[in-house]
Chains A and B, each alone.
Chain A
Amino acid sequence: MIRTPLRPLARILSARQKGENPDVIERENIRLRHEGMRDASRQCAEGRLLVLGAVFVFAFMTVGLRMAVLASTDPVEPRTTASGTSIIAQRGDIVDRNGRILATNFITNSLYAQPPIMIDKAGAARELARIFPDLDESSLLKTFNSSRKFLWVKRKISPEQQQLVHDIGDPGLLFGPREMRLYPNGRLAAHVLGGSSFGREGVNSAEVVGVAGVEKTFDDYLRDPATGREPLRLSLDITIQTAAERVLSGGMKLMNARGASSVLMDVKTGEVISLVSLPDFDPNTRPAPLTKGVASDSPLFNRAVQGVYELGSVFKIFTAAQAIDANLVNAGTMVDIRGPLKWGKYKIRDFHDYGKQLTVADVVVKSSNIGAARLAQMIGAEQQQDFLNSLGLLAATPVEMVEAHGAKPLTPKNWSEISAMTISYGHGLSVSPMHLAAAYASIVNGGTKVTPTLLKSTTPAPIPGPRVISAETSRVARQMLRAVVIDGTASFGEVQGYAVGGKTGTADKPKEQGGGYHEDKVIATFASIFPAHDPRYVLVVTLDEPVETSGKDPRRTAGWTAVPVAAEMIRRMAPLLGLRPAIEPSSQDRLTLTSN
């Protein structure tokens, strides 16, 4: 073995001494080092290549094993999503105040087609058009032959229709389970319920969303699984609602009216027992909204909540009540009614000439515009505005319908004295029948503010709202309203045993294009309370363009149109409401003295 010196420098030095070339030693040295390095690196590489080989063998075995596991498992039918177990009874029911169903859910199927896997497209289109008469065979076939991979044929089908489609036997016609919203009472309370449609839609389920009415207002509540499918309990009563719709519908036809609405409200709690707007619709097949023309012509339009009208003389009771409550007058105070009353360029006239002066009570009973305007002058514009505001007549009603938020009263821009005078008899301020019903309830229930609601009250006793007028003023107002029926414009409103009170209102309809009023189109309103001595309910009946033609001349005033309809409604509804006919306590006081 050749011994290599530790320090090559020593060898080089000795080589130099001997006269040899040191570069040879240097090269030899490098070669040796290099060989050593290569051996080391080769041994390192050998180990690492072994590692690599092992890793690859392991990896190939893993893939092979995994492949074997996969190949030995049973194939499953491809499914696009999880099965539709969650669609059953998602949305809460809606029931009336006695728990009877107004809206519920129904399991059905939707029908869709996948043209690429259809076998006999022409035959399928023909059969489908036969099963569903509203489908067109040629357009169906055209869609089937287009490049579409998927199309809805019908959103909701009945079990019989489903069987017929099964019988076609085409594999490209498929069904998706659906939960549909069902309104078993059809048109009943259509405007309150509103309606629903499908929101996001998948093959195996679709969400049902409310599109109008309480369905939309309470959409989150109805869809919230946390409510435990507790039904939404409304204040409506199906029986009363049915009676109201029947009678009002008949009355609307008799009076040749374009439309009609009624609101029946509990005077203490503000619960709406019945709400009708005619013409109506079936929420199961909600019609499409009008794309042109006037929205109020559509049956979808809720006249009782969405429609704001100048309701006319029904406002006089507010004027009289405020004047009495402010101690400016009492029911017997004489008011000058010589006409016409001039204010600037405006002239205020009465329908008839009632003489030179009338008591405050007779201003209401006879419905004198001049008398009301004089009272408004005494009250003052600002005070009038405050009072009407406290009755909730200057803001949208808080009733739980999406449509209510949009129905803001139309108020004069500048509430001047002349505005106050016209508003005193119901012109220049447009409100909805719902507003009016709530305000009447506040006036007659003893003088506390009432908030209208569509939900059944959960408190055992009604909680009175803030005081609007004194209890005494409220009593006087009730007597005045009763006198209107006994001696005044609403004499057709008398219903034996139920002591109806109320105030009529006949307002000329403003022209749609603006610029004045129609001569022969009116809104006739009767705002009634019963029984007048201890009011339980307020009923506001409004007829749109009624005309009563039994007489020589066509009669349009509320006393001839809205009042008889309202009386018939009360005659039918009062027993259903559990009211017994009662003998009225004798009216003892000065009010009757002033009437003739």
Chain B
Amino acid sequence: MTEMVYGTVPRREGEAILPRWWRTLDKWSMVCIFLLFGIGLLLGLAASPPLAERNGLGAFYYVERQALFGGIAMVVMLITTMMSPQLVRRLGVIGFVLAFSALAFLPVFGTDFGKGAVRWYSFGFGSFQPSEFLKPGFVIVAAWLLSAAQEINGPPGKSYSLAITVMISAMLALQPDFGQAALILFGWGVMYFVAGAPITLLLGLAGIVILGGSFAYNNSEHFARRIDGFLSAEVDPTTQLGYAANAIQEGGIFGVGVGEGQVKWSLPDAHTDFIIAVAAEEFGLVLVLFILFLFAVITVRSLMRLMRERDPFIRLAGTGITCIFAIQALINTGVAVRLLPAKGMTLPFVSYGGSSLIAGGIMLGMLLSFTRARPQGEIGDILLGRGR
């Protein structure tokens, strides 16, 4: 009766794992994730043949690889969703330690693939980007520390997590990978915001970010050139941004047709950072809006479910993951439409990239695990008369 009235989730003793998983899972979000992955494969079919041709490989070499990595990512995600938050936290901390060590040893063992930034470990069959795997682990650790700080007589988790954040950002910025560094900083900022940061402090942090940005602008040519390219009113059509803008315009509402696009032949990053331009050119505004809708649904649904969550750790970790995921999608699409300066950022699940896919699977798996419906002690509130 109470359950029916207040919509709380019944906890059935002795229920089998899979049915309970299915019953408590955020199925809509999971459907969205699968759809995104499917769109990624579809766009990969369009965007990656030019690259494969340049590298002398079979036309759909990269699509096959993405299907393989995507399959792994989906399996990893499903497994992760079945874990309890405690298990996720434990594994997350272990994963963080591993990824952090991998990141720390990059300058020694890493490779830059001739792109000017040492970000990868090269194995024979593929490469591995530790910064992608660091993100889920980092969110778990930071959320754990921040939630522990909310306990009375708890550890000074805010300072600890801030120290970790700054250290990782510095290491990433030295690669240089300002995008990932900014993501890490942003993730921590959002978690701290939800954990109840004082407003004055947030304003102060915003000031520091602006200062840091101008420092990077003045001291890093890599960084300055991109900002300049963004701020100049005239878009040089021979740059990636110019090609992307042109592709979106060519595509119009319904696109030029499957396989008819031209931008993938001009853009070196058509299959990763500018995948949205390929989507816009070949499938038109319709598909782009659909992709944005899927991202928005995942983000909003997750945040709504987290609002009801009472466990501070789950709430913070879920927020961090959701926001990092959403901001990545926003930056990627925002760059393509010139709302943001050019910054290499993959579109989660859609862009090609093994590390990015699998790490994305882990992250979203964690998120789905955190957003699973579970008893939140609402009845206790009502019984104790503390309801709102």
Which residues of A are at the interface with B, using a C-beta cutoff of 8 A? 1, 30, 33-34, 37-39, 41-42, 44-46, 48-50, 52-53, 56-57, 59-60, 62-64, 66-68, 70-76, 78-80
Contact = CB atoms under 8 A, between A and B. Distances in A.
B310 A75 contact: no
A141 B307 CA distance: 70
Contacts of B152: 30, 33-34, 37
- Provide the main secondary structure of the chain B interface: helix
A42 B310 contact: yes
A64 B288 contact: yes
A70 B150 contact: no
Q: What is the interface of chain A mostly: helix, strand, loop, or mixed?
A: helix
B306 interface: yes
Interface residues of B, number: 49
Given A67-B333, A72-B252, 12 more contacts: A30-B152, A41-B195, A48-B196, A49-B306, A49-B307, A50-B307, A60-B295, A63-B339, A67-B336, A71-B249, A75-B249, A78-B238
B300 interface: yes
Given A66-B339, A71-B251, A73-B249, A56 B303 contact: yes
Contacts of A63: 292, 330, 333-334, 337, 339
Contacts of B253: 71-72
26 contacts: A34-B151, A42-B312, A45-B194, A45-B196, A45-B307, A45-B312, A49-B306, A50-B307, A56-B299, A56-B323, A57-B300, A59-B330, A60-B330, A62-B339, A63-B334, A64-B288, A67-B288, A70-B337, A71-B252, A71-B280, A71-B285, A72-B285, A75-B250, A78-B238, A79-B237, A80-B238
B196 A60 contact: no
A80 B237 CA distance: 7
B315 A45 contact: yes
B112 to A, nearest CB: 24
A74 B253 CA distance: 12
Interface of B: 150-152, 190, 193-196, 237-238, 242, 245-246, 248-253, 280, 284-285, 288-289, 292-293, 295-296, 299-300, 303-304, 306-307, 310, 312, 315, 319, 323, 326, 330, 333-334, 336-339, 385-386
A325 B299 CA distance: 105
Nearest to A41: B196
A56 B300 contact: yes
A59 B303 CA distance: 15
B194 A49 contact: yes
Contacts of B289: 64, 67-68
Nearest to A48: B194
B296 to A, nearest CB: 4
A75 B299 CA distance: 33
Contacts of B312: 38, 41-42, 45
Contacts of A80: 237-238
Closest 10 CB pairs of A and B: A78-B237, A75-B249, A53-B303, A71-B285, A60-B296, A66-B337, A70-B248, A63-B333, A49-B307, A64-B292
A67 B337 contact: yes
Contact of A56 (B284, B326, B336): B326
A149 to B, nearest CB: 11
A114 B373 CA distance: 63
